[in-house]
Amino acid sequence: MKSEVRSQRSEVRKRNLSSVFCLLASALVALSIAGCGPTFPKGEFKESIIRLCKKEYKLDVKVKTVGKTVAIYVPLTNLLDFTFALTPDAGEKLNQVILSVTRVVLSTDAKYDFYCVIAHDVKIPEIQIIIIKSVEDVRRFLLGDISRGEYGKRMLIDMRIAPQAQKERAIRDVFDRMKIDAKWQEGVMQDFFMSEPTTLGDIGYWAGKFYIKDVKLTEFLADEIASRIKLSFRDDKVLADSLALKAVKGLYFPGDTSNGGSGYFKVDITAEPRTAEALSSKEVSDGLFSYALKVSYDVMHGYHFKDFDYVEIKSLADGRSSKVMKEDLDNYKPKKTKIEDVMVFDSF
């Protein structure tokens, strides 16, 4: 009798359990269905950014896409103060645009790798602020995969005079002096001087037109190395006291794939010694290369990028240059590996 009662009770228990299971399963199914589908479909991608900026922040922006890159033009007023620093108001508006773009780029089925925000003051359109970000970096930051500090280092921020404006001013000056008819000037300008950009440095917005290119990861990484070296000079007192950084440029040269070559990165640093002792100091020079090496390692390692043969670092001030092979860079351990173990110097 007891076993009968027990079996009936276990039946009831089983029924209860199965109804609880059904309830949970249907909840999961409902949630999964709710999770399907992008919020900003591919076909409405550009309009979504424009609508979001307008609706939520009352900002009028323009959007253009090239390949896997999105460019957003933000016209602002009072972009810079008299010290040429970004005004708080402009900074807030830029952040709002970046946030809108981020939201759309992350919640769409359109595949974009980079986005580029171009901001300028409508009164002085020649001066522009260009911010380039990798969509993957943004995603990883939001998922907590990279720190805020690292995320900050991974974006390219540049304030510059629009290259197109510089060219136009110089050419128009030539046209004026040559007294060329105005109706020919526009044609020549369009054909020869307002061509599409080939480097990240050429990206901009001028005279109602986007100058934008499809950003490649290699050139983005090359520029990021240069950007990080600049930041090292800002943050490291010993380096800054010894050397004055004049310029740093990162480039990527594609290899000859038919020979099995992948390409290489080249970093040109122009840093002048501040003192006579520093000029002849190997220690100071080694310090510079050591920084460049660590930055290269951080970038390649951070992006798990393997498609290159070596990184060439060149100090234009003393003509010293060095190559770091990919394998050596892979084995490099900051604070443990000696610079001589991984770098091969051409001269000193």
Partner 1 sequence: MLPQRFKLWKMHFKLYRTRILIGLAIILLIAASVWGMMSLESFYRNQTLAMMPLQLIMVALNALIFVYMYMNLFRTGGTASKNIRMKSNLVNVKWDDVIGLDAAKTEAWEVVQLIKDRAKVKNIGGKIIKGLLMLGPPGCGKTYLAKAIATESGMPFLSMAASEFVEMFVGVGASRVRQLFKKARELAAGYGGCIVFIDELDAIGRNRTFSQFGGQETNSTQNQLLVQIDGLQEKEENVIVIGATNAPEESLDPALLRPGRFDRKIFIDRPNLEEREKIFAFYFSKVKYEKSLDIKRLARKSVYKTPADIENIVKESALIAARDDKDVIDFKHVSEAIERIDMGLKHRRSLVPKEKEQTAWHEAGHVVVLYLLHPTDDVFKASIIGRREALGVVHRNPREELFTRSKEALLADIKTSLAGYVTEKIKFGTTSTGVESDFNNAMATAHNMVWRWGMSGIGMIGNYSFYEAPNHGSDLAESTKEKLNKETQEILQSCLKDVEDLLKKEWKIAEHIANELLAKEELEYDEIDAIFKDYGKSQTKS
Residues forming the site for partner 1 (CB under 8 A): 1, 4-5, 8, 23, 27, 30-32, 34-35, 37-40, 103, 106-108, 139, 142-143
Q: At CB < 8 A and 24+ separation, what contacts does 261-264 make?
A: 261/309, 262/307, 262/308, 262/309, 263/218, 263/307, 263/308, 263/309, 264/308, 264/309, 264/310, 264/311, 264/312
For partner 1, the closer of residues 35 and 208 by Cβ is 35
User: Is 202 in a helix, a strand, or coil?
Assistant: helix
Q: Say which amino acid occupies 222.
A: A
Q: With CA atoms as reference, report the closest residue to 162 among 123, 196, 129.
A: 129
C-beta closer to partner 1: residue 48 or 321: 48
Nearest distance from C-beta of residue 190 to partner 1, angstroms: 40
In this complex, which beta carbon is closest to partner 1, that of residue 6 or of residue 169? Answer: 6
**Shortest spacing between CB 47 and partner 1, in angstroms:** 16
d(CA 242, CA 290): 14
- First and final CA of the chain: distance in angstroms? 98
DSSP result, 109-155: SS--SEEEEEEEESSSTTEEEEEEEEHHHHHHHHTTSS-HHHHHHTS
Q: Which residue has the tokens 């990883």?
A: 140
Shortest Å, Cβ 34 to partner 1: 4
Residue with smaller CB distance to partner 1, 16 or 190: 16
Q: By C-beta, is 23 or 161 nearer to partner 1?
A: 23
The nearest distance, CB 45 to partner 1, in angstroms, is 13
Q: Give the nearest distance from C-beta 335 to partner 1 in angstroms.
A: 35
Please answer whether residues 113 and 94 qualify as being in contact, where contact means their C-beta atoms are separated by less than 8 angstroms. no
Work out how close the CB of 345 gets to partner 1 at its nearest, in angstroms, rounded to a whole number.
Answer: 47
Q: For partner 1, give the closer residue by CB, 108 or 315.
A: 108
When the beta carbons of 90 and 104 are compared against partner 1, the nearer one is 104
Are 183 and 227 in contact by the 8 Å Cβ rule? The answer is no
Shortest distance, position 38 Cβ to partner 1, whole Å: 5
In the complex with partner 1, the residue whose CB is nearer, 1 or 182, is 1
| CB of 30 vs partner 1, minimal distance in Å | 5
Residue 23 or 207 with smaller CB distance to partner 1: 23
Task: Quote the least distance from Cβ 11 to partner 1, whole Å.
Answer: 12
Per DSSP, the residues of 269-329 read: EEEEESSHHHHH-HHHHHHHHHHHHHHHHHHHHHHT----SEEEEEETTT--EEEEEHHHH
- What DSSP string describes 51-82? HHHHHHH----EEEEETTEEEEEEEESS-B-T
Report the distance separating Cα 286 and Cα 345, nearest Å: 10
Residue for token pair 């393997």: 306
Q: What does the chain come to in residues? A: 348
